[in-house]
Structure 1
Amino acid sequence: MIKSELVQHIAEQNPHLYQRDVENIVNAILDEITEALMRGDRVELRGFGAFSVKNRPARVGRNPRTGQKVEVEEKFVPFFKTGKEMRVRLNDGVDHGDD
């Protein structure tokens, strides 16, 4: 599912909301999560999961094409850990089709 499909699905489930309002809400939520992660905060959505930032220290890597050693700079990467409720729901007979 892509963001536009998510917006459309939420709008269909909530006919009292305009699709553009749903899109604005979804964008606001995603922006707030991003801003919190940029500040180094952890974002926890109970039952769903938690977003955080992990540090990947600088290291010496290898160019797979040439085998030559290359310096890989330190970077911060987003990390998501699923909540217990989501893990339970995913493993309790929910359809895992590729819809």
Structure 2
Amino acid sequence: MNKAQFVELVQKSGSYKTKVEAENAIKAFTEAVTEALVAKEDVSLVGFGSFGAALQKGKSGKVPGTNKTYTTQDKMVPKFKAGKGLKDRISAGK
């Protein structure tokens, strides 16, 4: 599903009058979650899931086929954990 299709789905599901309203709702949601994660706060939506930020440790390795090595830095990465309600709905939809 691409963004345009998702906007149409949100418009239909949320009873928005226009696609612009639906797109604004999606944008507001993603911006709010992003701001919370940047502030190192978790966002929990009961029944849907939790968004959080976690530290990913750096690693070192070797480039295949050469003798070159590389090292990555520690960084914060977004994480999502699905809630029970979402898991149940998906498993029922097999």
TM-score by length of 2: 0.85
Following TM superposition, by how much is the alpha carbon of 1:51 offset from its aligned partner in structure 2, in angstroms?
A: 0.7
1:2 corresponds to: 2
**1:1-99 equivalence runs, <5 A:** 1-13=1-13, 14=15, 17-92=17-92, 94-95=93-94
Supply the distance in 2 between the matched residues of 1:50 and 1:65 (Cα, whole angstroms).
Answer: 40
- Please tell me the residue identity of whatever aligns with 2:52: S
Between 51-60 and 38-47, report the one with greater CA deviation.
Answer: 51-60
Q: Aligned equivalents of 1:59 and 1:83: distance in 2?
A: 30
Note the alpha carbon deviations across 1:33-89, whole angstroms, 9 max, x for none.
Answer: 011111111111111111111111222222234253211111111111000111111
**Which residues of structure 1 form unaligned runs of 5+?**
none
Secondary structure of the 1:31 match is helix
DSSP 3-state at the match of 2:71: strand
State the number of aligned residues.
93
For normalisation by structure 1, the TM-score amounts to: 0.82
Structure 1 letter corresponding to 2:62 = R
